[in-house]
Structure 1
Amino acid sequence: MLTVAFPAQAFDTNCYVLAPGPGQECVVVDPGVGVEQALQEVLTTHRLRPAAVLLTHGHVDHVWAVTPVCGADTAAYIHSEDRYRLRDPLAGTHPALIAMLEQQFGRKATWAEPSSVVEIQDRTRLTLAGLEFEVRHAPGHTEGSVLFGTRQVPDGVRADVDLDCTMLSGDVLFAGSIGRTDLPGGDHAAMQRSLREVVLPLADTTLVLPGHGPATTMAHERENNPYLQHLPA
């Protein structure tokens, strides 16, 4: 699986591009703030055509560029519990944060909702751009936070264990940490349930591609992530 990751210009949100190979359709995951130019370079270099945009949740740093990426023909996929955020993610964003973004990019922050939005649920199975994904609902960071799993692994990945699947974990699980629960839509108890019931059962052979920071594996996180080691029963 061809996989390219690069950070957005704000908040270091990871944007991912996945495809069966060069010259084919692709899936874009979490197009954040200011990714348009870098994304276009990736698409041009590998001769890729976006078939869908997958959103792990609806916070502005993960959806900012979804509408220019989608255009008129490409659908954005988001869990139904976070669907309302796509109507105007700026509405739930602190004014000081909006002001910071406007200063950084030198223009007023505006939002246009994607023209095509598909609501997904827990265990929804998607076949997009020749790739198959399963959705796992994992609320806690937001009401509609999800993980996207696929039985494929990026080309050229090296790890301490043999990997046989990939999980795009958004802001649920990071290398050595987990997502915040003190933002709008956050719920500490829900996050604990998601970690215990959705994340911990993942196989050690799972590659984890998080919404921020470096990639990791479930084997490494199970052994080293303090937030997984001290979960309440």
Structure 2
Amino acid sequence: MLVIGFPTGALQANCFVLASGEGEPCVIVDPGQDAVEPIGQALRKHRLAPVAVLLTHGHFDHTFSVTPVCDGNDVPAYIHPDDVEMLSDPLKGISRESAAFFGGDLEMREPSEVRSLTDGLELDLAGLRITVDHTPGHTGGSVMFRSGAQEGGRLVISGDTLFAGSIGRTDLPGGDHTSMLSSLRTKVMPLPDDTVVLPGHGPTTTIGRERATNPYLLQLQDAVRTDDAPAAPHRGL
């Protein structure tokens, strides 16, 4: 599997391009701010043809370039229905401080074709089998994407559900800390230790490393009461 990743925009949200190999169809995940040019460079360098854009959630630092990327390549965008409104009204999902930082005015519109993601959905795209896990907590429509390489490797694109050493914040509109802990318990913790994690911000990690060092996963393993769990530190939006 070919995986290309790079940070985008002021909040350094990770964008990923996935394909079965050079010169093949590909999917693009989370095209954030200023992502159009680096995506184009990656497509040309590796001779890739996009077939879809997948969105882990609706926050604009992960979706800002979705319409030019989708409509420019005549491909659909996939997003959970609980977050779809943010594609045309990005201020719905951010804090007042974030809105003020960007001048309180962020104009976006939906791509021409938007398709819904649901929990457990199996997508066959670009020669890849991708499983959708609905992981509410950071936003109501947050999802993760799981896939496996032919040689047996596993990866999960976790969006802002799981980071190296932390988790996504839950104090924004649509966020819910109890839901986040439930998502971590039911969707993240069961994953095999050798699963490579491609997060929405920051460096790549593995489930095994996070199980051993991430304070939120350690807390779940120790069966600490949910209402005693600390809120996530701010990261991204």
| TM-score normalised over the length of structure 1 | 0.89
Q: How big is the shift at 1:100?
A: 3.6
Change (3 A) 1:110 1:83: closer
Amino acid at match of 2:119: D
Contact map agreement 2:159 2:200 (CA 8 A) in 1: yes
Equivalence for 2:154: 165
Residue 229 and residue 92 in structure 1: after superposition, are their counterparts in 2 closer, same or farther (change >3 A)?
A: closer
Matching of residue 124 in structure 1 with residue 121 in structure 2: yes
| 1:151 Cα deviation from its structure 2 partner | 1.2
Structure 2: distance between partners of 1:219 and 1:197: 16
Q: Secondary structure at the match of 2:157?
A: strand
Per the alignment, residue 115 of structure 1 pairs with: 112
Q: Is the 8 A contact 1:20 1:130 kept in 2?
A: yes
Q: Which amino acid aligns with 2:142?
A: S
8 Å CA contact retained: 1:169, 1:209: yes
Aligned to 1:160: none
Question: Is residue 31–residue 65 contact of structure 1 (8 Å, CA) maintained in 2?
Answer: yes
Distance 1:178 1:92, change over 3 A: closer
- Please tell me whether residue 140 in structure 1 is matched to residue 137 in structure 2: yes
Contact 2:123 2:131 survives alignment (8 Å): yes
Identity %: 52
Does structure 2 conserve the Cα–Cα contact (< 8 Å) formed by 1:25 and 1:48? yes
Q: What is the root-mean-square deviation in Å for CA atoms of aligned residues?
A: 2.0
Partner of 1:226: 215
1:1-233 → structure 2 map (5 Å cutoff): 1-71=1-71, 73-94=74-95, 97-98=98-99, 100-101=101-102, 109-152=106-149, 164-231=153-220, 232=224
Gaps of at least 5 residues in structure 2 are 226-237
| Superposed displacement of residue 85, structure 1 | 1.9
**C-alpha contact 1:90 1:111 (8 A) present in aligned 2:** no
Deviates more, 1:210-219 or 1:66-75: 66-75
Residue 4 of structure 1 aligns with an amino acid whose one-letter code is I
Q: TM-score, normalised by structure 2?
A: 0.87
Contact 1:25 1:129 (C-alpha < 8 Å) held by counterparts: yes
CA distance 1:201–1:115, shift in 2 (3 Å): same
| Number of matched pairs | 221
Cα distance change, pair 76–96 in 1 and its aligned pair in 2 (3 A): same
Q: How far off its partner does 1:57 sit?
A: 0.4
Deviations 1:10-37, CA, capped at 9 Å, x for gaps: 2010000001111111100000011111
* Uncovered stretches (5+) of structure 1, i.e. residues with no partner: 156-162
CA drift at 1:98: 4.5
CA offsets 1:31-69 (integer angstroms, 9 cap, x no match) = 001111111111111111111000000011110000010
